[in-house]
Amino acid sequence: MANDASDLSRNILRLFNELTEVKKSVERLNQRVAALEGGHIPVTEAAPLPPPYQPEPGEITAAKKPRPAGDLEARIGGQWLAKIGVLALLLGVSFFLKYAFDNNWIGPAGRVMIGVLFGVGLLGLGEYFRPRYGAYGQALSGGGIAVLYLSAYASYGFYHLVPSSLAFVFMAVVTVTAGVLSVLTNQVTLVGIGIVGGFLTPLLVAAGQPSLPAYFGYLALLDVGILGVSFYRNWRVLNLLGLAGTALLYTLWYEQHYVAVQQWTLAAFLSAFFTIFLASTVSHNLVNRKKSEPYDLVLLAVNGFGFFLLLYELFDGHRTGMSFAAMGLAVLYFGLAVLSHEFNPEDKRLALSLPGLSVTFLTVALGLILEQRWLTLGWAVEAVVLVWLSFTLKDKFYRAFAAVISVLVLGRLLAMELSLPAAEYRLIANPRVLVFAFSVACLSGVGALYHQFKAAVSDKEYKFIKAIVVTANMLALVALSAEVVDFYAAKVRALVPSAALPTFGRGLPKPDSQYYAAVRSLRQWESITLSILWALYAVGVIAVGFVRKSRLLRVGGILLIGFTMLKFFLYDLWGLGTLYRIIISIALGVLLLVASFGYNKYKDRIKGLIQEKS
């Protein structure tokens, strides 16, 4: 019995241990299932197995579903067929009505009423089908609006049943109806048809010369309505449609009916149109703080430039008045740029466009206010100010405009400022020296600002500005050379009146005349002076290169010396008299020795600078 009891105890203990192991196994299985399902069961005894890798949500990218082949079929069948069907229906009804009219089945009033009822019926059907069949309902509604416009015009234009004023009111009501329905039902197509019909209304029902206040007052109200719908539904592309329609109707009226006494009234309406379309951009981007789209920027630019050009045409290019208009636009766009930076800093497109327009109109204003040489000076100052603003505001867009204006300044210096009428010439004290000295100083100031903020610009941009500064200094040498040439030309003109000169051949002075000898002497002195001037300028550039630690300036000075020596060997040595060859040889020799002494004295410093840069 004892043995049996002992065996029973052992068996019970074994069963208990086995049950414990089974329980642990079940717990481990539960933990694995929980891990696979994303759950969590706290670990009590056994260490849990590491959970399987779960990818982050961003790691799993759903493959783009290819557009089902049936989409195109659905679009054609559900949308385009409806629109084509409405067009075919309109054509069919038009043909039927024409046939009925030709056979006098229906009188004029009945014809108009049929059109009105048909249009209202299409509108009703469109609204009935719109909740379930959007594109189909929109096509019917658009057809209804078109029929109502046609009926309103026919009542006046075809049959003269009503006066033009009543037909105008009828068509205006249709336009308002289209706008209201489009807002309520979110149908941009409907308001598009309404806008087109609204702009056609004054053309279709015009009777004689339209009243200026009534004509443009209607356009202003229509534009305000477009602005309201565009703002409420965020249909910004409608603003471009409104601007195009307004410009077309303005041009047609101006070409046919404008007289000079209406100048200021028309200018007031132009200003109103400009303000409305400017507000259409500002309302979306500054009030609603939405990012601008490309057509917003197109509207912004076309509105501004179109307004200015129409004013310019209206006031017959009056420079003073238009300069103030351009300056006012520059200030306006600059103020909007500040507001854009404050209220919608994320809109980079607008942040670039508004300052660009401001700078453009400022440049135009300077061109209108200033005369030829003063314009060059004004642009040179503008370039410096824009670069300073760019680094102060940390906005590289201003530097881009400064670069363009700097190139324009260089072009004007070379093409328009170099020549000087003989009557204006005074050595040094003449307009050319003033313009070149001031412009080169301004462009050098641009280079100095770039050097100060070199870390904030790219290497490519920095090299471009260095090229502009170098070009400006080369033009300074060209201007000094022109001073030398004009100085000796004035001496030649002062020798003797040309009518009293003995001549030969084609009217040239005789070779043995005293005058010819004097002219030849002056020309030789001119050549000597030019060579010495170029050599002095080259030495000066090399000296500045040492001070500024600029290898570019030093190399430029050496190249200029090389060009001077080329002139010396090819022309001066053979074309000058003995005394003049002595003078030029000694002068150039001294200057070259001075330049060489500088290089020998500072050669260790030059090597150090080169090693630092390499």
Whole-angstrom distance, CA of residue 228 vs CA of residue 225: 5
CB 238 within 8 A of CB 230: yes
At 56 the pLDDT is 43
Domain edge (last residue) among 370, 399, 428: 370
At 351 the pLDDT is 78
Under the banding of pLDDT at 50, 70 and 90, the label for residue 7 is low
Whole-angstrom distance, CA of residue 139 vs CA of residue 371: 59
Question: Between 502 and 171, where is the model more confident?
Answer: 171
At 180 the pLDDT is 85
∠ CA(212), CA(218), CA(223), 5° rounding? 125
pLDDT at 476 over 70: yes
Residues 356, 255 share a domain: yes
At 179 the pLDDT is 83
Q: Is residue 364 part of a domain?
A: yes
Residues 292, 198 share a domain: no
* 219-223: average pLDDT: 88
At 490 the pLDDT is 86
- The three-class DSSP label of residue 209 is coil
At 11 the pLDDT is 61
Comparing 89-98, 99-108, 155-164, which segment has the lowest mean pLDDT?
A: 89-98
Nearest alpha-carbon partner for 241 in 182, 197, 304: 197
Residue in the block written with tokens 């105008």? 168
CB 147 within 8 A of CB 122: yes
Nearest alpha-carbon partner for 439 in 468, 397, 464: 468
Residues 245, 198 share a domain: no
Return the H-helix or E-strand segment holding 323.
helix 319-343
At 331 the pLDDT is 94
Please give the C-alpha separations between residue 487 and each of 52, 109, 497, 512, 562, in angstroms, as whole numbers. 92, 90, 18, 25, 25
pLDDT at 127 over 50: yes
Comparing 16-20, 317-321, 414-418, 585-589, which segment has the lowest mean pLDDT?
A: 16-20
Residues 187, 300 share a domain: no
pLDDT at 316 over 60: yes
Question: Between 255 and 45, where is the model more confident?
Answer: 255
Whole-angstrom distance, CA of residue 361 vs CA of residue 304: 9
Rounded to the nearest 10°, the torsion over CA 223, 225, 227, 233 is: -150
Whole-angstrom distance, CA of residue 497 vs CA of residue 494: 8
Domain edge (last residue) among 192, 208, 224: 208
At 321 the pLDDT is 86
pLDDT at 614 over 80: no
**Is the backbone of residue 289 left (phi > 0), alpha (psi -120 to 50) or beta?**
left
Residues 184, 283 share a domain: no
pLDDT at 452 over 80: yes
At 62 the pLDDT is 41
At 74 the pLDDT is 54
Residue in the block written with tokens 């200026």? 212
At 63 the pLDDT is 42
* 238-266: average pLDDT: 90
Helix, strand, coil abundance in the chain, percent, nearest 5 = 80, 0, 20
At 609 the pLDDT is 53
Whole-angstrom distance, CA of residue 577 vs CA of residue 525: 10
Q: Is residue 499 part of a domain?
A: no
Under the banding of pLDDT at 50, 70 and 90, the label for residue 159 is low
**Is the backbone of residue 507 left (phi > 0), alpha (psi -120 to 50) or beta?**
left
At 206 the pLDDT is 66
What is the residue range of 353's domain? 235-370
Question: Between 45 and 195, where is the model more confident?
Answer: 195
Whole-angstrom distance, CA of residue 594 vs CA of residue 358: 50
Under the banding of pLDDT at 50, 70 and 90, the label for residue 94 is low
At 355 the pLDDT is 84
Q: Is residue 67 part of a domain?
A: no
pTM of the model: 0.59
* 476-503: average pLDDT: 77
Return mean pLDDT, the chain.
78
Q: Is residue 300 part of a domain?
A: yes
∠ CA(190), CA(193), CA(197), 5° rounding? 140
Under the banding of pLDDT at 50, 70 and 90, the label for residue 93 is low
* 351-362: average pLDDT: 84
Residues 326, 283 share a domain: yes
At 85 the pLDDT is 67
Question: Between 300 and 88, where is the model more confident?
Answer: 300
Q: Is residue 490 part of a domain?
A: no
Angle between helices 603-613 and 578-601 (to 10 degrees): 60
Residues 165-203, buried b or exposed e (16+ Cβ, 10 A)? Answer: eebbebbbebbebbbebbbebebebbbbbbbbbbbbbbe
Domain edge (last residue) among 370, 397, 423: 370
Q: Is residue 419 part of a domain?
A: no
Under the banding of pLDDT at 50, 70 and 90, the label for residue 38 is low
Under the banding of pLDDT at 50, 70 and 90, the label for residue 449 is very high
Whole-angstrom distance, CA of residue 520 vs CA of residue 602: 42
Residues 272, 193 share a domain: no
CA 189 to chain centre: 30
pLDDT at 26 over 70: no
Other residues' Cβ atoms within 10 Å of the Cβ of residue 430? 15
Residues 111, 202 share a domain: yes
At 246 the pLDDT is 94
Nearest alpha-carbon partner for 51 in 36, 72, 65, 29: 36
Question: Between 514 and 272, where is the model more confident?
Answer: 272
pLDDT in tens, 410-447: 998 988 877 777 667 787 778 888 889 999 999 999 99
Under the banding of pLDDT at 50, 70 and 90, the label for residue 243 is very high
Question: Between 435 and 600, where is the model more confident?
Answer: 435
Under the banding of pLDDT at 50, 70 and 90, the label for residue 506 is very low
Bridge partners of 504, per DSSP, are 508
Residues 244, 187 share a domain: no
> What is the total count of domains within the chain?
3
Whole-angstrom distance, CA of residue 309 vs CA of residue 317: 9
Nearest alpha-carbon partner for 598 in 565, 562, 558: 558
Give the range with max mean pLDDT: 260-264, 479-483, 503-507: 479-483
Under the banding of pLDDT at 50, 70 and 90, the label for residue 333 is very high
Residues 239, 202 share a domain: no
Comparing 18-32, 181-195, 375-389, 573-587, which segment has the lowest mean pLDDT?
A: 18-32
Bridge partners of 508, per DSSP, are 504
Whole-angstrom distance, CA of residue 189 vs CA of residue 83: 11
Long-range contacts of 420-425 (CB under 8 A, 24+ apart): 420/482, 420/486, 422/486, 422/489, 422/490, 422/493, 425/486, 425/490
Nearest alpha-carbon partner for 352 in 329, 375, 333: 333
Tell me phi and psi for residue 248, to 5 degrees: -65, -50
Share of the chain above pLDDT 70, in %: 76
Whole-angstrom distance, CA of residue 309 vs CA of residue 218: 23
pLDDT in tens, 395-415: 787 888 899 999 999 998 988
Residues 140, 204 share a domain: yes
Give the range with max mean pLDDT: 13-27, 104-118, 388-402, 457-471: 457-471
* 32-42: average pLDDT: 56
Nearest alpha-carbon partner for 228 in 182, 197, 295: 182
Q: Is residue 438 part of a domain?
A: no
Q: Which two tokens stand for residue 58?
A: 């961003």
Question: Between 89 and 253, where is the model more confident?
Answer: 253
* 299-311: average pLDDT: 92
Nearest alpha-carbon partner for 224 in 266, 192, 183, 272: 272
CB 90 within 8 A of CB 145: no
Q: Is residue 57 part of a domain?
A: no
Q: Which two tokens stand for residue 487?
A: 């100085």
Give the range with max mean pLDDT: 132-146, 148-162, 225-239: 225-239
Under the banding of pLDDT at 50, 70 and 90, the label for residue 68 is low
Whole-angstrom distance, CA of residue 294 vs CA of residue 308: 22
At 19 the pLDDT is 65
Comparing 387-396, 504-513, 534-543, which segment has the lowest mean pLDDT?
A: 504-513
Residues 193, 249 share a domain: no
